[in-house]
Structure 1
Amino acid sequence: MAVKSVIEAIREGLQEEMRRDSKVFVLGEDVGLRGGVFLATQGLMDEFGEARVI
């Protein structure tokens, strides 16, 4: 079993679901370019674009 932080697990879960279902999106304060306060959404905008990371 891989050892990862809670934030890494959250990010991987979001990526997995967003790859699986094009209707899934992330909406929140600072989740875009910055990746959120704890960086849980870091890189999602690069991969999925501004329409799905709001």
Structure 2
Amino acid sequence: MYPEEEIKKLVESLEDKDKVYIKILTYEFEDEYVSFRIFSQGEWKVKLVTE
């Protein structure tokens, strides 16, 4: 699954969140879970989640 708490801590530690661009693609072969998220201009956008 997507490591939400760890990523939240990472983003909170950033000094200038508006200038950071992060893409995270999470895939778990066993469960066929896929998640694609983009952090841009201080906000997360969830593009795809399958469960």
Normalised by the size of structure 1, how large is the TM-score? 0.29
Structure with the bigger percentage of helix: 1
Say which structure, 1 or 2, has more relative contact order (CA 8 Å, 6+ apart). 1
| Greater C-alpha radius of gyration | 2
Normalising by structure 2, report the TM-score: 0.29
